[in-house]
Amino acid sequence: MLLIVGLGNPGKSYAGNRHNIGFMAVEAIAAACAAAPFRRKFQGELTEARIGADRALLLKPETFMNESGRSVAEAARFHKIPTADIVVFHDELDLAPGKLRVKRGGGDAGHNGLRSITAHMGGDYRRVRLGIGHPGDKALVHGYVLSDFAKAEKPWVDALCDAVAKNVAALAKGDDSLFQTRIHAAMQAGGF
């Protein structure tokens, strides 16, 4: 069983933030898989989904970004899910808006959600990096990630989350390359 985690901050005031694109992607997966409504569990919101023939737990930690690892570790321990079977969707400043990359392990690149998960679980989990672009100045990063996507950005955000949801079966099977290729093709076809 996979544990698919979307990173973000809880509450309506953060719902449209760039930092919450991980939540948005996991919500799109849940909708595409006709998962049951999310319910509060493991200091987060959790649901179960069928992705192809595989079972997956979908988790949105409600601990705020900086403490995401507490929620992830609690769910993983309870369900005996090894770190290698955890997939984390998160915002990525170093990728252009609408781009996506998958990698296993590595550093946290200053991302507090990843830092927290690594501190609780170790770093051998897959990361799905969802590009949000960079504001151009390091001093502007905090305000940028905690601001909402602009109306003009909504089409590519929706297209990216939709492509993720439609192609998540490749990711669930461990075919990260095919997953990335399909997302790239879907975004190009949509003009993004």
Digitized pLDDT (tens) for each residue of the chain, 192 residues in all: 999 999 999 999 999 999 999 999 999 999 999 999 999 999 999 999 999 888 999 999 999 999 999 999 999 999 999 999 999 999 999 999 999 999 998 888 789 999 999 999 999 999 999 999 999 999 999 999 999 999 999 999 999 999 999 999 999 999 999 999 999 999 999 999
Domain 2-189 = CATH 3.40.50.1470 = yes
Is residue 111 flagged as an active site residue? Answer: no
**CA 81/CA 163 separation, integer angstroms:** 26
Helix (H) or strand (E) segment spanning residue 89: strand 86-92
Residue 192 corresponds to which tokens in the numbers above? 């993004």
The values of phi and psi at residue 22, to 5°, are -65, -45
State pTM to two decimals.
0.96
Res 81: pLDDT: 97
DSSP state of 97: T
Task: Please list the alpha-helical segments (H only) found in 62-153.
Answer: 68-79, 112-121, 141-145
Q: Residue 183: CB partners within 8 Å, gap ≥ 6?
A: 100, 160, 163, 164, 167
Catalytic residue among 19, 90, 111, 120: 19
Write 43-52 long-range contacts (CB < 8 A, 24+): 43/70, 43/71, 43/74, 44/71, 44/75, 46/75, 51/2, 51/168, 51/169, 51/172, 52/169, 52/172, 52/173
> What is the residue extent of each domain of the chain?
2-189
